[in-house]
Copies of this chain bind each other. A is one copy, B any other.
Amino acid sequence: MNYSEKLQKIVSKNKSNVVIGLDTDLNKIPEYFLKYKDPVFEFNKKIIEITKKHVAGYKLNMAFYECLEEKGISALKQTLAAIPNDLLKICDAKRGDIDNTAEMYAVTYFDKYDFDAITLNAYMGKDSIAPFLKRKDKVVFILALTSNSGHTDFQKLNIGSKYLYEEIIEKSLSWSKDNNVGFVFGANHTEEINNFTSSNPDVPLLIPGIGAQSNDLKNLISNLHSNSFVINSSRGIIYSAEKNYNSNEFEPAVRLSIMNLKNDINKYKKENSLHNQST
C-alpha cells in the first residue's frame, strides 16, 4: 500500500487530517513523566494512546531525538513501534545531500525505521532527492514555502516570472511519475496554497504552522483544494497540559486539544464542501 492509499484509508477511518508533531522536549513535558527510565518514550506512548483514534498520523522531528544521543534513538524506535500500523509516520528531518549520502539517509529513515514520508530540502538538486524517490511507496515532502519569518529571504525571490519556491515545485514534480513528491507549505501562506492546490489537488501536502505558530484555521481550510493533505500541530497539542499536571489532568487536556482541532478542521471542510473529496 503506498502513501496516498494509506492516507485515504486513515482519513476515512479516523475522520481526521491531523498529524501530531512529537517534538518532545524534556523541559516542557509534565514533570511526572521524569520519574520514568525513558520519559520521552513514556510521554509519546501516552500521547499516542490518547490521540490515535483522532489523527491521521504522527510527525517526529529528528532534532528532538538527536539531542538525547543514544537514548533519543532508543526513544525514537520505541515510539515508532508504538504507533499503530495504519497511521502515518512522517520523519521531519529536512535532509538534502549528495547521492551516496542521500542513499544512506533513505536506508535509515525509509528502510530501517519504515517511515512513510520524510521532509527534504531540494537545494542540492535532483540527485539529492532521487534515492528517496526510488522507494515508490514512500513520499518526500520537499520544502516549498515555510511558515517561519525567514521564508522571505530566499523562497520568494524572483526567478524570471516565478518565485524560487514555484521553480522548486515545478522541477521536483518532474522528477517522479509515481505521485511520491509532495510539499511543505506553512499554514500562513493561504493564497499560495489556494493557487497550488487548485491545479494540483492530488499532490501530497504537509502543512505545519497552526497551533503554537497560530494561524487562522478557517481561512486555511477555505483555501485548501487538496485531496491529500495533512495538517501538523506539535506544541499546540502535546503541550496543552501544564508542567505540573498529574496524569488525571494531562489526559483530558490533550484529548480536548486534539478533538477541538479535528472537529474544527472537519467543520470547515464541510463548510467548504471539501468533505466528500478528502474522506
Residues of A within 8 A of B (CB): 23, 25, 61, 63-64, 66-67, 69-70, 72-74, 77, 94-102, 104-105, 107-108, 112, 121-128, 143, 146-155, 157-160, 164, 167-168, 171
Contacts and interface: CB of A to CB of B under 8 A. Distances in A.
B94 A97 contact: yes
A101 B167 contact: no
B148 A124 contact: yes
A127 B149 CA distance: 7
A70 B65 CA distance: 11
Contacts of A108: 63, 66-67
Given A63-B97, A97-B94, A151 B124 contact: yes
B101 A126 contact: no
A159 B162 CA distance: 10
22 contacts: A61-B101, A63-B97, A63-B102, A64-B101, A67-B104, A94-B96, A94-B97, A94-B121, A123-B123, A124-B146, A124-B150, A125-B146, A125-B149, A125-B150, A125-B151, A127-B150, A128-B150, A154-B168, A157-B164, A158-B159, A159-B164, A164-B164
